[in-house]
Chains A and B, each alone.
Chain A
């Protein structure tokens, strides 16, 4: 039997009506489990008039109330540490993780049982296998192995596949680059930002990464893995193909992955999730091709059932036919486009950090950057982009001027300040990069004064 390009060939190539039948059956089971085991959720379902028997088609999904992160956090505060959300006793759990803390006041805390943890690794297997990772690969993880779930599941997925796994926690960037080369790693896993950081380090060490055995990069943790200019920069510097993936602690693992065909988007693992795309303001569904917010329903982790969770992630859904890989799983074109709450209003113009990064990355001489929002003269908000241009032979003034013009043209003529700063002065990141600093005390030209403190 020839090797399948799919982790689960039956599901990944199932006709749409089969996927929907499977999702409907799993949805009924999930609602029944939730009703029986999580009184806090059962109360919400009952108030909405929903029970397992009343789920007759996928349209009935929309009768289930959406759940927000604020509600989850509130429940945790009410009954620390996990809130009234657990469907099984804590004694059965064998993993504890929490969110990375980039959004929200307090991190969300989650538990997994053995079967859940295996499922978490299973989702990563869809991604790794789908991008061509095989047992003979040597996989390096540039990951700190803390309480943030990050690449934990990916590590165990690669063990399951049978790869030789190199756990690169607690190492300097230099030591990581040296181990990647010394152990002849063929696959490297990191955030997009850190992939660039390692490439910088390799350059400083006089190493040509493009001639190394690394053939694949698996990126996660930031939207940049699907920003074409950033991805191209990473691929060129490493001489390797890069695949975007995205996951969330709330479900414990990834829900989307890019396949070997690299269609410019990420497949949704539709046999384990129902993903909806809605208007973030009204909650109404949006059609294929339109930007909206992801809602997720997960059939995986049974410990904390997740039904119609508002992710705040912005996506554009496309039919499976947009990719030639043969999977029948739909895609998110461009991966995660950003977050609903990422958008900044600057003198009446919407600014998305991802869009700024897409432009900055077209300027190959720029090594690192930061977006800085501040209030000028106590009344007006301003935006500036700080850039590092380490190459002394580059015409920095010309680059700064061209970048300023490009940013302004892409933002309805909005005035951007662009400043060259000393090389190495901007922060570097291993996990999720935080390149936006908002120091404004006034939002908008005649906007509200931000509450200080």
Chain B
């Protein structure tokens, strides 16, 4: 996986980005309990910082509530 600057991510960085992408996906579902949704939102807001810091151009998250 390469970032927007054309730099190959490390294995650890790739794992973190998979977590982020999976969270974004799951937060678009409507079958999450309040404790699941709100904690996942906190986690995705934090992981967004990594995606942004790794130049993955993660865009905005308001559409999923973060």
Residue ranges of A at the interface with B (Cβ–Cβ < 8 Å): 8, 10-11, 18, 21-22, 25, 29, 33, 87-89, 92, 113-115, 117-119, 122, 271, 302-303
Contacts and interface: CB of A to CB of B under 8 A. Distances in A.
Contacts of B61: 113-115
Given A115-B60, A118-B48, 18 more contacts: A18-B5, A21-B5, A25-B57, A29-B57, A33-B60, A87-B60, A88-B60, A88-B62, A92-B66, A113-B45, A113-B61, A114-B65, A115-B45, A115-B66, A118-B45, A118-B49, A119-B52, A122-B53
Contacts of B42: 114
Contact of A25 (B4, B41, B46): B4
A303 B7 CA distance: 29
Interface of B: 4-5, 7, 41-42, 44-46, 48-49, 52-55, 57, 59-62, 65-66
B66 A119 contact: no
Contacts of B44: 115
A118 B5 CA distance: 23
Contacts of B41: 114
Nearest to A117: B45
B60 A302 contact: yes
Contacts, number: 54
A32 to B, nearest CB: 10
A448 B16 CA distance: 63
A88 B55 CA distance: 23
Nearest to A92: B62
21 contacts: A8-B53, A25-B55, A25-B57, A33-B60, A87-B60, A88-B60, A89-B62, A113-B62, A113-B66, A114-B65, A115-B44, A115-B45, A115-B61, A115-B66, A118-B48, A118-B49, A119-B49, A122-B49, A271-B53, A302-B60, A302-B62
